[in-house]
Amino acid sequence: MDKRLIGQRRDHEGLLLIHKFGWVRARELGHMLWPASARSAVNASELVAKWKRAGWVLVRPLPDHMGQALVLSAAGAAYLRTCGHMDAVTGKDWGETRSGDWVAPRTWQHELMALGLLAHLHTEGWQVIPERQLRRENRPGKFPDGLAVRGDAVLWIEVENARKSGPNRNHMVQALVLASQGEAEQLSGHVANKALLAYAVDALDERGYRLDHRHHVMAALARRAPVDVPLMLAELTVTGTAGVGEVTISGTTVAAEAVTRRLASIAWASQAAIQDFDAYEFFRAGGLEYCHGDGQFSWWWSVREGKREVAAADVESAEEARRALVSKLSYREWCR
């Protein structure tokens, strides 16, 4: 391809990333534009230098020597509008000016963590949709810090880097529960079906005390969730002035206290084996039959409405099957 056309494509892709995120640093920009290149940082610096000469970006110094934030200038936004992105606007109003000095918004550290995580997911083949883009494209409501889409998986991402009050914590719990059940509100054409909690390891509060965000959020989920919550965890290593370095993703299931209490009150009945059907254990509630049994290769559970199967899965044990069934019942009652 002609070098001029390659350059135009890079300009378009890079400026569009700034538009979607609201602001970026050259480091994360390089990772997203050249994910497999060892020269991503150098390439990004050269590209940003070109944009500065063209007047397409404004540079904002981040606090704590965390580098420079790039926002669109009026000219950069105008360039994107000529490319068909009619909602592109300048980012000159991000932050504020006090006594002639530019001051970053209070949320800049949280936004930088989200940027670092989403840039990492982008390099792993995920389509990422930042919060700024979600707010532009959807009606007002509860928004995650980003969505990530790959195949059938749609991640609802919550980045935790500050203590949350009761109401805010409740909103996060509700959002993670709904996403984990595949029933989050549709945003930008996608419905989240997985919940991901991201947090920095070794985070400290303003007094220098360690903040265990993972523990606090998982404890809140256990206390307040009506259902056992499958949860993806993204552990972020924030190193010096580099921002997000390593990202370690794992999975867990948060056992809800409500399910444990309800499980103790269920009166299970037994169905003896008959021709072509194995024995199973069950209870009925709300017009549905919740049953589980030992199959040929694994334990199974099923929720049925008459002969129609509403939900079903194979699991590892009878206890896991019972919890899954009571979780389904508890969630249905919670949603009423």
| Successive 10-residue mean pLDDT values, the chain, 336 residues | 84 98 97 94 96 97 94 98 96 92 93 96 97 96 96 97 74 96 96 96 63 88 96 90 89 97 95 73 95 86 95 94 96 90
Interatomic CA distance for residues 66 and 216, integer angstroms? 27
Interatomic CA distance for residues 48 and 56, integer angstroms? 9
In contact, 72 and 19? CB cutoff 8 Å: yes
Give the residues across from 98 on adjacent strands: 101
Q: Give the DSSP H or E segment for 153.
A: strand 153-160
Interatomic CA distance for residues 181 and 252, integer angstroms? 14
Task: Report the candidate in 101, 161, 130 with the shortest Cα–Cα distance to residue 19.
Answer: 130
pLDDT reported for residue 276 = 60
**What value, to the nearest 5°, has the Cα angle with vertex 200 and ends 195 and 206?**
125
Interatomic CA distance for residues 87 and 20, integer angstroms? 10
pLDDT reported for residue 205 = 57
In contact, 173 and 220? CB cutoff 8 Å: yes
Could you give the count of Cα atoms lying within 13 Å of 208 in the half-sphere of its Cβ? 0
Domains of the chain: 3-103 (1.10.10.10), 108-255 (3.40.1350), 259-335 (no CATH)
3-state secondary structure of 301: strand
Interatomic CA distance for residues 288 and 329, integer angstroms? 9
Could you give the count of Cα atoms lying within 13 Å of 247 in the half-sphere of its Cβ? 22
pLDDT reported for residue 129 = 98
pLDDT reported for residue 4 = 84
**What value, to the nearest 5°, has the Cα angle with vertex 136 and ends 134 and 138?**
65
Q: Amino acid identity, residue 318?
A: A
pLDDT reported for residue 6 = 86
Task: Report the candidate in 13, 14, 21, 235 with the shortest Cα–Cα distance to residue 111.
Answer: 21
Interatomic CA distance for residues 317 and 327, integer angstroms? 15
pLDDT reported for residue 132 = 97
pLDDT reported for residue 167 = 78
Interatomic CA distance for residues 17 and 247, integer angstroms? 21
* Token pair 């024995």: residue: 279
Task: Report the candidate in 114, 205, 218 with the shortest Cα–Cα distance to residue 158.
Answer: 114
